[in-house]
Structure 1
């Protein structure tokens, strides 16, 4: 079984690195630097997505949007132009379930399978081999890809037919995005009223408010003053918008989710879409008149 990977940036690169530990992997990315990093892990860089499709039975892809995925698959030098019937494309992008299903139908007519397997946990968990994998595809498709996915992480969930992985991912990310802002607000409230942020986090981790933001974001990033977590406000807002679009397309009211969407929009208007996601705490600190981050805290990844 020959494997390829298209889109080896921060997340795709981490996932492809896991695959390289047990497979020969052909890779393509618009960034020569990203490809070089994977070549150092034993991968082979190829000139185009089409070349990766032509050379492999299964091609993974991880980009920022479903529109980019469509271009990478169906474009002039896309994966589908090179892939033979019987091939499989594994979409690890955080994408739009409705677009994914449409692409799967187009590829099915070409004799190519598409399965969506987005991930949750961040690049550090991908590298560690503990990231969550959320798969959408038929039972037969899932059975085919599962042994390969197990080389990335044992935490694999078959969520249902194609598109179900993306449904799982965007609903998870809406919950995570909501928890982040609410947790930032609540800790700022406590600090404004005289509490030490470290004490607040330690107490809440033993109480009913415990969540990922307290357990990971605060303990590993906020309290030590290293705000960089490898994710931007713009990407978080994109994921929230995917969830609110899913709700609209499914005719499901999403009142709190809608407010979270607007909240991220307001923060981005102030800080910019490229700002590190934890800089949202700076926005909340300014509004509250409270200082949660230690003096000298930085979002610089090299700090």
Structure 2
């Protein structure tokens, strides 16, 4: 399977902002692609892939049955557990030797449980969490954080290289998802700090454009800042297309992980609380830049209705 000239059957479960771009790159390179399409909306969203030769399927079991490599890219552990364990799920259709890859952001303990269930069927498992944006998915420039048997990673590396610019081997099963949660804590924690800073700046009369230039030129600069800056100055939230609801879920997973590890989480708890409050205020579907509005609301200011 490590020969890039071999044509494989690759199944995709989860065709949102990330999964659809990944599937497109695999299809363009000539592999047979199966897509789980359970609604008219998903069929419409993937119409171009179907016209290009992808096969639409209606159950996870059907996708598993056709796949040499099965890539799952859904929201989190409950969704992964459903597609694998539920009736007409992956375990009902999977064939021996298939490599199941969970690209979701999942809880490591759930990941290890599902890996054991899959290997009991004679299949193989990798957790391969993603970092990057939907634009990176469209461009085939994602990062993959992989946990599992390194020899299995080498088998499917040619598939991963179709949509990833960096492939990091993190360790045994669960290590990819553990590393992703640590990454999310750093990024989402940075965003939470910036949201507080910009809220305070508005209340103290600081020129936001000057503040952005100062941050850009010094040690406070970061990827999170660069993605928030267009919103602060122009109201454009499209550079940080990750929902507050997903951020809250990731920080909830991080809090559980640190608790199980008995690790210090003073800042983690504060960041988790920031996203919990934003979720309780109804910001769940909004992208991360709207966290600034949430902080403004908590501090007693009325959010700008055009940005809310």
TM over 0.5: yes
User: How big is each residue's C-alpha offset from its partner over 1:243-299, in whole Å with a ceiling of 9 and x where there is no partner?
Assistant: 1111111111211101111121122222342333322111223455789x9x88546
Correspondences of 1:102-113 after superposition (within 5 Å): 102-113=113-124
Residue 184 (str. 1) matches residue 195 (str. 2): yes
SS at match of 1:154: strand
5+ residue gaps, structure 1, are none
SS at match of 2:46: helix
Cα RMSD over matched residues? 2.1
Residue from 36, 39, 60 that aligns with 1:28: 36
Tell me the equivalent position of 1:83: 94
Residue 61 (str. 1) matches residue 68 (str. 2): no
Residue 268 (str. 1) matches residue 279 (str. 2): yes
The 10-residue stretch of structure 1 (266-275 or 60-69) with the greater mean CA deviation from structure 2: 266-275
Residue from 4, 11, 20 that aligns with 1:4: 11
User: How big is each residue's C-alpha offset from its partner over 1:4-52, in whole Å with a ceiling of 9 and x where there is no partner?
Assistant: 1011122222322232221331100333322333241332211211111
Tell me the equivalent position of 1:225: 235
User: C-alpha separation between the residues in 2 aligned to 1:29 and 1:250?
Assistant: 38
User: C-alpha separation between the residues in 1 aligned to 2:246 and 2:189?
Assistant: 14
SS at match of 1:200: helix
How many pairs does the alignment contain?
A: 296
1:72 deviation in Å? 0.6
User: How big is each residue's C-alpha offset from its partner over 1:114-168, in whole Å with a ceiling of 9 and x where there is no partner?
Assistant: 1011111221111122221111111111101111110002211111111111011
User: How big is each residue's C-alpha offset from its partner over 1:171-210, in whole Å with a ceiling of 9 and x where there is no partner?
Assistant: 1111111111101111332343333212211221110111
User: C-alpha separation between the residues in 2 aligned to 1:130 and 1:222?
Assistant: 27
User: How big is each residue's C-alpha offset from its partner over 1:182-240, in whole Å with a ceiling of 9 and x where there is no partner?
Assistant: 01111332343333212211221110111122112213x43221224433221110000
5+ residue gaps, structure 2, are 1-7
Correspondences of 1:95-174 after superposition (within 5 Å): 95-174=106-185
Query: CA separation of 1:25/1:264 partners in 2, compared to 1, >3 Å: closer, same or farther?
Result: same
User: C-alpha separation between the residues in 1 aligned to 2:233 and 2:180?
Assistant: 28
Residue 19 (str. 1) matches residue 26 (str. 2): yes
Say if 2:146 and 2:167, in contact at 8 Å, map to a contact too. yes
